[in-house]
Amino acid sequence: MSTILKIFAFPAAIFIMCLGILTVLGGHITPGGGFQGGAMVAAGFIFCAVVYGIEKSPFQFSHEFMSAMESIGALGYVGLGLCGLLFSGFFLYNLGVDLYGVSQAVSGFFNYPDPTDAGIIPYLNIVVGLKVMVGLSAIVITFMEFRGEEVTE
C-alpha cells in the first residue's frame, strides 16, 4: 500500500473504533447498539489489517485474546439471560426496569436513578458488541491468512 494510506490508516482506525465503542455504550438511548458498534470496532481493525497486512498491523489479535473475548461475550449473554430466568422466570427479563414488579430483590443492582434507565440492555449491548467484533475480525483474519494452493491434476 502507499505511504499516504499507511499514515492515514491508523488514526482513522482509532477514530472508527472510538465511534464503535460510543455506539455500543449509547445503544440503549440512540439508534444502534451491540451489533452495529461491534461491526464498527471490527471495521477499524480490518482497515488496519488490509492496509498494513496481518503481520505488520498495529492491532495484533492473538488467538487466545479472540477466544477469550468470544467466550466473555457468549457467557455474559447467557449469564444475563439466566439472571432474568432465575429471578423472574423469564429468560433475558429486564431486571433493572422490572415493569411488572417480578423481581424486587435484584432490581436495585441494575437500576440507576436516571431517566434513561435501560436495565440490562447496556450490558447486553456490550457482550453482543464483543461477539460481533471477534466474529467479523476472525472471518477477515481467516481470509487474509489463507494461502490458496493450486490444484494440479
Write the pLDDT tens digit of every residue in 88-135: 888 888 877 766 666 666 656 665 556 567 778 888 999 999 999 999
pLDDT band per the 50, 70, 90 thresholds, residue 45: very high
pLDDT band per the 50, 70, 90 thresholds, residue 83: confident
CA distance 146 to 99: 50
Going from N- to C-terminal start, the domains of the chain cover 1-148
The pTM of this model reads: 0.81
What are the Cα distances from residue 33, in Å, to 24, 68, 127, 148, 153?
5, 21, 10, 36, 50
